[in-house]
Structure 1
Amino acid sequence: MRPRHIPSILQFTKTIWLQAAECWREKQHTAVVVDGTVGNGHDTLFLAELVGERGHVYGFDVQESGLANAQERLETAQVAEHATLFHAGHETVADKLPEGTLVSGAMYNLGYLPGSDHAVITRARTTIASLQALLPVLMPNGIITVHIYTGHEGGTAEGDEVMAWSKTLSWKEYRVGRYDFPNKEINKEHLLVIEKL
């Protein structure tokens, strides 16, 4: 049984996003967020419900089956009008976002799409390109959460490169946090959180 007082990475991620949404509401801010890895749309739905009727989610994925599942999930929850899904890699984010868009936050779950071809995975090169492209359009106090999985081939290498990239971000401009379980030996995972000052 999972310890009651230490949240899972998914729980901790949602807590961070709920706190961010509270700030949006206090400032009466219309939130625009990015789901960099739509998958089957679980996070996309979470984000669409979080941004509310005035906000919008832009989602990216390279697998049509996942996007179809995500679209169906959004339509069932009656929030599809608050999301735009792109059949494209997240490295195209700067080209796909409407010109002048400021982003309140972005969420990434690296690795592969559950229930699909495990050979189709996110890669450090495109992940870092996407993250780098988002930084200039991220609003002050905007957040980026990156859930790094290492239990698949290529996962550790991608995670190491993304972590190394995050260490290059200026302390004067960003805060970078990390949450993980140091004693988890199999399928280690990490949460990287970036906040723009």
Structure 2
Amino acid sequence: MGFLSVLTMAQRWVAENAPPGSVAIDATAGGGVDTLFLARTVGPSGRVYAFDVQQEALEATKLRLKAASEEDEKAAALGENRKKRPRQPLAPVTLLRAGHQRMAELIGPEHRGRVRAVMFNLGYFPAAGEEGRKLITLTETTLAALEAAMGLLSPGGIITIVVYPGHEGGGEEASAVAAWSAGLPSSAAQSVVYRFQQKPDAPYLIAIQKR
């Protein structure tokens, strides 16, 4: 059995640090994979915020959440008939068409300092096709978003960042994120890198846990 993918590892670390009832943020909603994961992880007593600058991404995320809720409802009905335990409902999700660098401004004040997980999946929104590939996350706004995320986290909260050095501009962004995370004072946070060493252009994961 091989090692877990970087996306699966990011989800594992988040699940270990964001119990039910937590507040969580998907900083790059894209197609909604991480948004759905967070909504299921923190459950109906939690809260999820999802950011993206593309309306298409937010619509895709909304559809993914709707389909998952409908599937859960069908499974719950079958579960009752078969005496199986149904899945708990998803957390309420707030979709925000805004750059993730604005999260400190747009997250509800009641949730500031209480966020348990922030997930970043950098690069571009694949479902948008070739035009979408031109609209990528940028080093400057990504670093600003990471600083904002640190301010929103509760002690013990985690940030996961999947970086993509293989596309144009991605190598610069990945290096900047790695340097930023390595430069955090150990008294403020601990940082780790999860990477497949023989594939230098493959995506890799950086994670930060706030002390």
Aligned-pair identity (%): 38
Q: Which residue of 2 aligns with 1:60?
A: 51
Q: Which residue of 2 aligns with 1:96?
A: 106
Q: For residues 33 and 8 of structure 2, what CA distance do their matches in structure 1 show?
A: 13
Unmatched runs of 5 consecutive residues or more in structure 2: 70-88
How far residue 10 of structure 1 moved from its aligned partner, in angstroms, is: 1.5
The count of residues paired between Structure 1 and Structure 2 equals 187
Note if contact 2:43-2:91 (Cα within 8 Å) is conserved in structure 1.
Answer: no
Q: Which residue of 2 aligns with 1:84?
A: 94
The two structures have a TM-score, normalised by structure 2, of: 0.84
Letter in 2 for 1:47: L
How far residue 173 of structure 1 moved from its aligned partner, in angstroms, is: 1.4
Q: Which residue of 2 aligns with 1:192?
A: 206
Note if contact 2:30-2:58 (Cα within 8 Å) is conserved in structure 1.
Answer: yes
Q: For residues 61 and 172 of structure 1, what CA distance do their matches in structure 2 show?
A: 32
Q: Which residue of 2 aligns with 1:9?
A: 6
Q: Which residue of 1 aligns with 2:197?
A: 182
Larger Rg: 2
Structure 2 residue 41 is the aligned partner of structure 1 residue 50: yes
Q: For residues 154 and 91 of structure 2, what CA distance do their matches in structure 1 show?
A: 23
Moved more, 72-81 or 153-162: 72-81
How far residue 188 of structure 1 moved from its aligned partner, in angstroms, is: 2.0
Assess, with a 3 A threshold, how the Cα gap between structure 1 residues 83 and 50 changes in structure 2: closer, same or farther.
same
Structure 2 residue 128 is the aligned partner of structure 1 residue 131: no
Note if contact 1:71-1:80 (Cα within 8 Å) is conserved in structure 2.
Answer: no
Assess, with a 3 A threshold, how the Cα gap between structure 1 residues 81 and 188 changes in structure 2: closer, same or farther.
closer
RMSD over aligned Cα atoms: 1.4
Q: Which residue of 2 aligns with 1:113?
A: 125
Q: For residues 106 and 183 of structure 1, what CA distance do their matches in structure 2 show?
A: 28
Note if contact 1:35-1:43 (Cα within 8 Å) is conserved in structure 2.
Answer: yes
- Greater share of helix: 2
Tell me, what secondary structure is at the counterpart of 1:77?
helix
The two structures have a TM-score, normalised by structure 1, of: 0.90
Q: For residues 137 and 18 of structure 1, what CA distance do their matches in structure 2 show?
A: 18
Higher relative contact order (CA 8 A, sep 6+): 2
Unmatched runs of 5 consecutive residues or more in structure 1: none
